[in-house]
Structure 1
Amino acid sequence: MQIIQSIQNRIHTIRGERVMLDKDLALLYEIETKRLTEAVKRNIKRFPEDFMFQLTKQEFDSLRSQIATLNDTEAYLSSQIVMINKGRGQHAKYLPYAFTEQGIAMLSGILNSDKAINMNINIMRAFVAIRKIVLQQQDIKEQLQAIKERLSEHDVQLSQIYDAMENILDEKASQRKWEERDRIGFKAIK
């Protein structure tokens, strides 16, 4: 279960899709990112845009800012892309590729090592676990909406009960006033 949790931590939402980055996949498959992208490019027909896409600079920067909260994390993120040393600093050479669940499933067809096959099974389990969580959250949202509707109905009913009680109390108060009024006229003495 720990491996699935580790995989879930590497799943990001980009362009409305749950994806994993090439560097994370290469790390899980225990191969170099370069080898992973080479295998993908040799079989590019298997990876249409809804299976795999390359991040834009803005998407990558946004992803980095979402995750980069600690210095350790920053070091991890800088390894997300292939870096070259040039002149004064390091510059990104390639933006990472993002693989959807279907793209990751397609990877199992081109990476045939036992490690890749076993890891793919775990990755699919992680995606299924996330889907279950999302469905449970949707069920909870629907239940909360039903409760809200019932409560608003109850508010109306309670308001009506309150109004009726107020009317009854007003009638009782006016009746009491009537009975306690000073009588005029003669009083019979016994």
Structure 2
Amino acid sequence: MQLQVIQNKIYQVRGERIMLDFDLAELYQVETRVLKQAVRRNLDRFPQDFMFELTKEEYDNLTSQNVISSHGGRRYMPFAFTEQGVAMLSSILNSKKAIDVNIAIIRAFVVLRQHLADYKDLKEEIAKLEKQMNTKFKDINQALNYLLNKDQQQTQQANRKQIGFKKN
């Protein structure tokens, strides 16, 4: 199973990386209603941090961003499974295909997590460099302002009307 295909089916909702029931059903090669029935029969295995039902607003938001395509008229909102929820699915969908797909999905989540960790490290390095550069630019800016102001001050002093005694 292609890792990229799975990664493209991982979305961010409520601050969690999730997969939707119809995407999982497609990967498992079962109907969505079959997957949902299996989950409903085993709801005690799926606490809120493993699986939740999307609100209409969340679902509309995903479709409006073209993250997911609209799946026609829906009577029920899709279930969203976190990484732990996907792992739990393997215990209720007991087929060879489900096990293979679950292994691939868990690997996709691991790769995604590694990319995010690498991104975080890179972001921290960039922030550190920006801070150093801002300090250097601030020093350069102060030096330039001093030089510009020095020339202006000299020009102003030369243009000032002199006071005091004049020597003949």
Q: Aligned pair count?
A: 151
Match for residue 33 of structure 1? 32
Q: Which amino acid aligns with 1:136?
A: D
Partner residue of 2:134 out of 132, 149, 152: 152
CA RMSD of aligned residues (A): 2.3
Partner residue of 1:134 out of 96, 116, 130: 116
SS in 1 for 2:89: helix
Q: Which amino acid aligns with 2:137?
A: D
- Offset, 1:141: 1.1
Q: Which amino acid aligns with 2:24?
A: L
Spell out the pairing of 1:4-83 with structure 2 (5 A cutoff).
4-67=3-66, 74=69, 77-78=70-71
TM-score, structure 2 normalization: 0.80
Match for residue 97 of structure 1? 79
Per-residue Cα deviation, 1:3-37 (whole angstroms, up to 9, x for no partner): 11001111111111111100000110111111111
Distance between the aligned counterparts of 1:13 and 1:160, measured in 2?
45
- Offset, 1:156: 3.6
Name the CA shift for 1:31/1:163 in 2 (closer, same or farther; >3 Å). closer
Distance between the aligned counterparts of 1:156 and 1:41, measured in 2?
61
Q: Which amino acid aligns with 1:140?
A: L
Q: Any stretches of 5+ residues in structure 2 without a counterpart? A: 152-168
- Offset, 1:112: 1.4
When you count strand as a share of all residues, which structure comes out higher?
1
Q: Any stretches of 5+ residues in structure 1 without a counterpart? A: 80-90, 171-190
Aligned sequence identity (%): 47
Distance between the aligned counterparts of 2:142 and 2:76, measured in 1?
67
Match for residue 85 of structure 1? none
Name the CA shift for 1:157/1:125 in 2 (closer, same or farther; >3 Å). same
TM-score, structure 1 normalization: 0.72
Q: Which amino acid aligns with 1:35?
A: V
- Structure of larger gyration radius: 1
Per-residue Cα deviation, 1:16-66 (whole angstroms, up to 9, x for no partner): 111110000011011111111111111110100111011111111111111
Distance between the aligned counterparts of 1:92 and 1:153, measured in 2?
56
